Structures are given as C-alpha cells and as structure tokens.
C-alpha cells in the first residue's frame, strides 16, 4: 500500500508525558507504540482513497496517523477528554480527520454514516479490553453499514471467536459471531508493543459481514437463547437444555433432527444448533 505521506514516528511515552496523561486501567488503556504493527493493521484494512474509516478508541493516534494517509476520511472516536485534546493538538492539520469525544457504546453508526454521506464504513480499532464484548454487539447491530472491521482484541477473545466444536475455547461467541461475520485471525501482537504492557497477548482479526447468514433460522433469538442456555451448563447432555425449551418433546426432536441428545452442546456445530433451534420452534 502506498501512503500519501509517510507519517512521522511518534514517541508515545514522551507524548503522553508532554500532555500529562497517564493510562487509566479501568478504561483498559494500553497504547500501541510500534509503528510496524500500525502499518500491518492499516494494510490489513485494504483502504483506498474513497474509504471512510471509523476508528474506535483513537488513543494517541498510533493508527490515526496512518489511516488518514490513505483514506478519504477518518472519524476517530475517543472517550478520554485528555486524549481528545492530544489528538486535536497533534493532528489539527489533518483535513480528512474528524475527532469526536464520545463513548462509542452510545454511537449510532447508521446515523453517523448518513451524517458523513457514506453508505459504508471500514472499522479499525485497537479495542480497549474492557469494552470488547459491547463493541462486538455494536458491530452486529450496525453490520449493514460496515464493509469490514479490523480489530485488535485480547488473544483469549480472538481464540474464542474462531474456536471449533469440541475445543475448550468453543462457546457462545464461537456461535453468535460467525452467524453474522466471516472471521479471520490475521496475526498476534506481543505485550511489549504497548505501554503499559498488558499481561496477555493480543490478536488482530478481520470481521467481514455476511450477505446472508450461513444457516436458515425460523427464529434467530430462539437460537441464541438456546445456545446461551446450553453453554451455561456446558458439561451437561443436550437433552436437559432441549427439555427446558421444549418440555416433553425431547424424543420427538431427537428423531426429527437425528442429533444424539446425549452429546454436550460444546460438540455441536452452528448448523446443528440451528437444526435443534428450528425443531424447538416447531413444537413451541
């Protein structure tokens, strides 16, 4: 990827000291300090000169500098007022950058797209660990205005998102997110690339919204209720959860689906969960 300009190196510790900023643990702040990682993340987004980027948690601008060099426009969301002041001072000359002091969890991406006269965003983010789950929910809600999301998350979360049936990491996220997105694990990022250094590794993912869900459902909310119930008691056999959702119909559902309900939920694929959820729907 060719950059319009080569963003200058940022000495993050020095910049933070200059603005009197200390990372806030309760906000999960770990600032990226390695430009090579920033390059890799931006390259993974495959941006063009007509791309509109929504950056969640701009921080010190570690990604912002590179995003503005290739995208038509970057909307950088940051909740921390001191960091917003830093961004406004450091990047005031960037004409294709909008900095918003806002809690991303209150953001209506669909309305924001209309405001900026775009039909679709590329989302890029080094996600604060403590809001990863709510942001994933946000991406699901507004997936119609998302071209793709390049996000860095805690490695444990990334592992759960791409986990396969029968593995320890396989759980609710492993079912729900692939219903809406194609998920690719791109590369890991060691803790030494941040300040303060986190105790765990991170991983960069690409989430691409699916044009159509991979399974046909009669009631998607019913599927997710059943999945949640199953994994809350993941060591129990499936017939317990099936009986809670369709009392007295266990044998009928077993015959209809051909699924052995003595199995545990952690062994089921998304397609098998969907088949059971549809069968439960039929008898309710």
pLDDT of 7 reads 61
Let me know whether 23 and 83 are in one domain.
yes
Let me know whether 204 and 261 are in one domain.
no
248: domain CATH number? 1.10.8.100
pLDDT of 26 reads 80
- Domain boundary (148, 176, 209) is at 209
Domain contains 1: no
C-alpha–C-alpha distance, residues 74 and 9, integer Å: 19
Give how far the C-alpha of residue 133 lies from the chain's centroid of Cα atoms, to the nearest Å.
8
**For the chain, how many structural domains are there in total?**
2
pLDDT of 102 reads 96
Give me the count of residues in the chain.
284
Let me know whether 238 and 190 are in one domain.
no
* CB-CB contact of 31 with 16 (8 Å): yes
C-alpha–C-alpha distance, residues 149 and 161, integer Å: 14
Domain contains 137: yes
Domain contains 6: no
What are the C-alpha distances in Å from 152 to residues 39, 49, 198, 211, 218?
13, 23, 13, 23, 33
Q: 277 lies in which domain range?
A: 220-283
Let me know whether 198 and 234 are in one domain.
no
Let me know whether 93 and 185 are in one domain.
yes
pLDDT of 166 reads 94
Instruction: Considering only CA atoms, give the Rg of the chain.
Output: 21
C-alpha–C-alpha distance, residues 66 and 39, integer Å: 7
Let me know whether 123 and 99 are in one domain.
yes
Let me know whether 16 and 146 are in one domain.
yes
58: domain CATH number? 3.40.50.150
**pTM value surpassing 0.85:** yes
pLDDT of 5 reads 46
pLDDT of 1 reads 45
pLDDT tens digits, one per residue of 66-75:
999 999 999 9
The edge-to-edge listing of strands for the beta sheet with 181-189 is: 97-101, 73-78, 52-56, 121-126, 146-154, 202-209, 181-189
- Domain boundary (176, 209, 242) is at 209
pLDDT of 264 reads 96
Low-confidence ranges of the chain (pLDDT < 50): 1-5
Let me know whether 139 and 78 are in one domain.
yes
């Amino acid at each position: 990827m060719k950059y319009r300009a080569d963003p200058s190196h940022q000495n993050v510790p020095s910049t933070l000291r200059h603005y009197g900023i200390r990372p806030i643990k309760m906000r999960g702040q770990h600032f990226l300090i390695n430009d090579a990682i920033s390059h890799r993340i931006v390259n993974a987004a495959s941006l063009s000169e007509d791309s509109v980027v929504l950056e969640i948690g701009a921080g010190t601008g570690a990604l912002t500098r590179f995003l503005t060099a290739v995208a038509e426009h970057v909307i950088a969301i940051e909740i921390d007022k001191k960091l917003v002041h830093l961004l406004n001072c450091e990047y005031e000359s960037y004409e294709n950058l909008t900095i918003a002091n806002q809690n991303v969890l209150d953001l209506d991406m669909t309305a924001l797209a209309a405001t900026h006269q775009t039909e679709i965003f590329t989302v890029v983010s080094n996600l604060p660990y403590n809001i990863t789950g709510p942001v994933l929910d946000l991406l699901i809600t507004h997936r119609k205005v998302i071209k793709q999301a390049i996000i860095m998350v805690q490695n444990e979360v990334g592992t759960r998102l791409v986990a396969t049936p029968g593995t320890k990491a396989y759980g609710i996220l492993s079912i729900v997110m692939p219903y809406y997105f194609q998920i690719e694990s791109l590369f890991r990022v060691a803790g030494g690339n941040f300040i303060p250094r986190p105790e765990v590794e991170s991983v960069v993912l690409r989430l691409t919204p699916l044009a159509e869900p991979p399974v046909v459902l009669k009631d998607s909310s019913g599927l997710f209720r059943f999945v949640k119930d199953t994994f809350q008691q993941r060591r129990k056999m499936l017939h317990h959860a099936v009986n809670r959702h369709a009392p007295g119909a266990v044998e009928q559902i077993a015959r209809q689906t051909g699924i052995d309900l003595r199995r545990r939920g952690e062994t089921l694929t998304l397609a098998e969960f969907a088949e059971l959820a549809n069968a439960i729907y039929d008898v309710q």
